[in-house]
Each structure stands twice: as C-alpha cells, then as structure tokens.
Amino acid sequence: MASDNRYSINFTLSVLEKTEASKLIKEREKQEHIEPYGYILLIKKAALLVLSFAALFDFIILFGLIALAPKDPDYVERAKFLSIITFTLIAIFIGLLYIYDYLMKKVMRTNYLSEIRDSELMLRLKINRSYIEQIMKIGSSKVFWNNIKKTYRKKGFLFIQTKENRCIIIPERVFKNGEETEKLYNFVKEQIAKNTIE
C-alpha cells in the first residue's frame, strides 16, 4: 500500500482461493475449469468411464427385455444379474466422485501455504486514478477505469469486475487490517463512479 490514490499490492492466489472466488463471482465471462492436480483428475475420469459402462449395461438390459425376453426364458435371470452389475457400477461412480472431491479439497488445503508463497505466480497490482495494472512474470495488462463495471466484497475477497465480465480478485488476507481493505474498496468505488459519469 502506498498513498491515498496509489496502491501497490503483491500476492499469489492459491488454487483453493481461486476455486472459492470462482463460486462467488456474480456474472461470468465464460465457464472455466480449474484442473491443477492431474493425478486426482484421473479419479474423475475413471468415475465417468464407470458411468458409461453402467449406461452400456443398462442399454443391453433394455434391448434384451424388448427383443430377447419373449424368445429366451432364461434372459430374465441374466437381466437380473446385469441389473446388479449396473447398480454396482453406478455406486462405484458415486463413490469415485466423492473420493475425487475429498482428495481435491485435501490437496488444495495441503498446498495452500506453498501456493500463496510461490514467487513464480506472484501478481502485482498497481492501482491509481487512471488504471489498474496487473503485473506477472509472464507479462502485464492495464484496465482503465472507464472499462470497470463494478466492485464488491464477498467472503474475504474484493472483486473488481470489468465490462467484459472479467474479475480482478484481491484476497482480503493481503491487507494488514479491515481498515486498509475498506480504504481500497472505497477508492475503487469512487474511481468507478467518477469514470461512469464522464
């Protein structure tokens, strides 16, 4: 933080914070999927594969009941067996989704501290009366105030939303206290109001 009309904030958002913030964004630009931990994603893919096998078995049962049951009296016994397999596959699918969700949350919590301290992903925000500049190692971008639509605070985050429905997300943990957060929030609201009228 610097003066009353210039702010400089350095922070890194963890995957957990990005996930939580994405749930809080009111208007979306597009649907984005955060898939940071590839090996856990395999559980989700396995669950979908199991569900597709269950659907295939269900189709086989349905086809058999329609076409084969009148001609083959033993088919009803086989259909019962296939129904049990289908039920088991659906139960495995639901179980794998719960395991995926549990592991994803656990890994996000475990990696939280290392991710917010990662200097490679460090984001530097410069906020002044003319624009907001986002600076990372890979490059930087500026958003002028006339392209900012609104700002709001929700559950530990400060959101600055552009007219293209992109959000600049600032976690409130980067501020020393609530007073600093409120000061920046009021500054952003003031700049939006000034540039909306002009």
pLDDT tens column, 157-177: 888 888 887 888 888 888 888
Question: Structural domain boundaries of the chain?
Answer: 7-30+122-197, 38-116
The answer to whether the CB of 144 falls within 8 A of the CB of 131 is yes
Enumerate the H helices of the chain as residue ranges. 15-24, 38-63, 75-116, 178-197
| CA terminus-to-terminus distance, the chain | 27
The answer to whether the CB of 195 falls within 8 A of the CB of 145 is yes
CATH for 7-30+122-197, options being 2.30.29.30, 3.10.129.10, 2.40.50.140, 3.30.70.1350: 2.30.29.30
How many degrees, rounded to 5, is the angle at CA 113 between CA 2 and CA 14? 75
Judge if pTM exceeds 0.95: no
SS3 86: helix
The Cα 31–Cα 197 span in angstroms is 31
pLDDT of residue 198 exceeding 60, the answer is no
